[in-house]
Amino acid sequence: MQLHDLKPRPGAKSRTKRLGCGESSGHGKTSGRGHKGQRARSGGSVRLGFEGGQWPLYRRIPKRGFNNNAFTTRFAPVNLSALNVFNDGDTVDAAAIRAKGLVTGKWDGIKILANGELKKKLTISVDAASEAAKEKISKAGGSLQLVAKVEVKKAE
């Protein structure tokens, strides 16, 4: 089987509705839009959730409970292959990673992930690392130190 042999399953594709092609097309005159009204007009439709002026469902339902999202710790992911931009024997910390442009923006910490191969012997000091990344760093002859930052965030 090759790419040109692939076909969609029977019934998966239907003909497009050809509008404005006269009375005999089966969608003649109003092109399936009915007579007059907002939805018959060009560009005429209501936004998602609009109920014709009735208080919409998403505003009628009570919003209670706790959402832990404001208290999560967001780590910037950095792959091992990206750390090959450093020289052999360098000390790599959050400031050095940001200086090289591997991480930009506002993050709570940096986490090293095991994607790719590390070809340099580095001393890495970051907030978190995956288990596979720890093994690959030690296999490359480097060392990893996890910086323990305990910081309580406040909900915004």
Supply the CATH number for residue 125's domain.
Answer: 3.100.10.10
Other C-beta atoms closer than 10 Å to the C-beta of 91 total 12
**In whole angstroms, what is the distance from residue 148 CA to residue 132 CA?**
20
Angle at 83 between CA 99 and CA 137, to 5 degrees: 135
Tell me whether residue 30 is in a domain. no
Please state whether the predicted TM-score (pTM) of the whole model is above 0.75. no
Tell me whether residue 126 is in a domain. yes
| 9: Cα within 13 Å, side-chain hemisphere | 1
E runs forming strands in 39-113: 75-79, 91-92, 109-113
pLDDT for the residue 6: 95
Tell me whether residue 108 is in a domain. yes
Tell me whether residue 123 is in a domain. yes
Tell me whether residue 113 is in a domain. yes
Question: Which domain, by its residues, includes 137?
Answer: 73-146
Tell me whether residue 95 is in a domain. yes
Tell me whether residue 32 is in a domain. no
pLDDT for the residue 12: 95
When computed from its CA atoms, the radius of gyration of the chain, rounded to whole angstroms, is 29
Tell me whether residue 154 is in a domain. no
Alpha-carbon separation of residue 57 from 50, 51, 54, 119 (angstroms): 9, 8, 9, 56
pLDDT for the residue 16: 87
Q: What is the mean pLDDT of residues 42-50?
A: 91
